[in-house]
Copies of this chain bind each other. A is one copy, B any other.
């Protein structure tokens, strides 16, 4: 079964309108001025990490590749642009045959990043590159924010499974992307069926209070659930009295009961009590799942509690205080003429308010010490120093308009865990701090 054939909401036929209007009007003006064909290099980077964070996590790269491939102006879209008078006829004609034909290099998905890291480099004519700004930034800014929160949570969970269950707290399709980004950041499963369908992420489910309340007693509800879903199911034990619910649960399911879920109260205290009670009832293998507004700090605070899995919702899908990254998409170099052989000139805004950036087409490498631990993010525009040649971070993703770097989501997930492990230990401290690596400009 190929999910893409099913027309489900998670696949989109065109991404071309995920675009700010000014990209099209700039295109029109450049076409008329004869500057649209100038070879251009755009880079995605961020000037800073969210306050107190020690590293960023690149996520969404796979979705960016899909978006670039599906960036097409069909008759319906062109009709809309014409009817609204957004661009003129020559521009509409140009858009009708739009296919990105340039090159994209970038940090592979799951890699960590720091201020100034050239996370993505898009190269081609000004016209073909400028149009991609909004959709590329939407994807990377959203997905990377979620992955960064997920990574902190997975570090705090120290190997215990993490269930993504935030769909109800964010836009229904942002939820699917969030489940994907969370998986890259180290989560184990998701409750979101669309994410399971589209990306193959393992899905799980327990039960809600509504199910208990539907029945004439908690006992009836537990029996209904166990009868239908088996003894391995997870029973929700905090609708009325937890101790009574745990007793009833084990009475009905026996010691083979899969798990109980606790969704309110002082989780540390309640988990200890429930563990003791389960053990006394002989249900030594019954697991305890906790949920209830968890974030990385709450997860860390439960490290010594007898908890077997964490379910995380709101704080994950809102990036644990930082729901977006501040990545920008900037022209860093362009040719002096439309001649494809014209040399590239570095360009950069030179203005007020700290919004300056560094011009020129960049490479990046992560320098490591003798033990293999990363010690600096090195970014440069000239030749790559010999000692950094095999520590380069940018990988080829699109070549001449063709995607050349598709990979399973598990690859990105494993890459993230490896990249994080190669950072200094202080990277996974939850307390606020500076980026764990300095960015050096060569």
Inter-chain contact A334/B213, CB cutoff 8 Å: yes
Inter-chain contact A168/B351, CB cutoff 8 Å: no
In the bound complex, residues from chain B placing their C-beta under 8 Å from that of A348 are: 213
CA of A317 to CA of B224, assembled, Å: 43
Inter-chain contact B171/A209, CB cutoff 8 Å: no
In the bound complex, residues from chain B placing their C-beta under 8 Å from that of A318 are: 323-324
In the bound complex, residues from chain B placing their C-beta under 8 Å from that of A233 are: 25
CA of A335 to CA of B142, assembled, Å: 43
A166 nearest CB across to chain B (Å)? 9
A362 nearest CB across to chain B (Å)? 16
In this complex, the interface size class of chain A, counting residues with CB under 8 Å from chain B, is: 35 or more
Q: Residue A224 contacts which of B17, B20, B29 (CB distance < 8 angstroms)?
A: B29
CA of A359 to CA of B42, assembled, Å: 56
Q: Number of copies of this chain in the oligomer?
A: 2
Inter-chain contact B351/A30, CB cutoff 8 Å: no
CA of A215 to CA of B33, assembled, Å: 9
Inter-chain contact A22/B205, CB cutoff 8 Å: yes
CA of A10 to CA of B173, assembled, Å: 10
Inter-chain contact A355/B264, CB cutoff 8 Å: yes
Inter-chain contact A137/B349, CB cutoff 8 Å: no
Per-residue contact bits, chain A 61-88, to B (CB 8 Å; 1 contact, 0 not)? 0000001000000101101110110101
Per-residue contact bits, chain A 142-175, to B (CB 8 Å; 1 contact, 0 not)? 1100000000000000000000010111111111
A295 nearest CB across to chain B (Å)? 13
Known interface pairs A1-B76, A348-B213. Does A142 touch B171 (Cβ–Cβ under 8 Å)? yes
A residues 347-372 near B (Cβ < 8 Å) are: 347-355
Interface status of A239 (Cβ within 8 A of chain B) = yes
Nearest to A319 among chain B residues (CB) is B323
Q: Which of A30, A138, A168, A194 has the most CB of B within 10 A?
A: A168
Inter-chain contact A86/B347, CB cutoff 8 Å: no
Inter-chain contact B18/A175, CB cutoff 8 Å: yes
CA of A38 to CA of B79, assembled, Å: 49
Interface status of A257 (Cβ within 8 A of chain B) = no
Inter-chain contact B86/A193, CB cutoff 8 Å: yes
CA of A170 to CA of B77, assembled, Å: 22
Inter-chain contact A191/B20, CB cutoff 8 Å: yes
Inter-chain contact A353/B264, CB cutoff 8 Å: yes
Inter-chain contact A30/B224, CB cutoff 8 Å: yes
Inter-chain contact A193/B13, CB cutoff 8 Å: no
Extra contacts besides A21-B191, A35-B215 (16): CB < 8 Å: A7-B76, A8-B12, A9-B15, A10-B17, A17-B194, A20-B191, A22-B205, A25-B207, A29-B211, A30-B214, A40-B214, A77-B197, A84-B203, A242-B352, A270-B352, A314-B324
- 13 contacting pairs across A/B (C-beta < 8 A): A1-B79, A7-B14, A20-B167, A20-B192, A23-B205, A25-B229, A33-B220, A139-B171, A142-B169, A171-B173, A213-B334, A265-B353, A318-B323
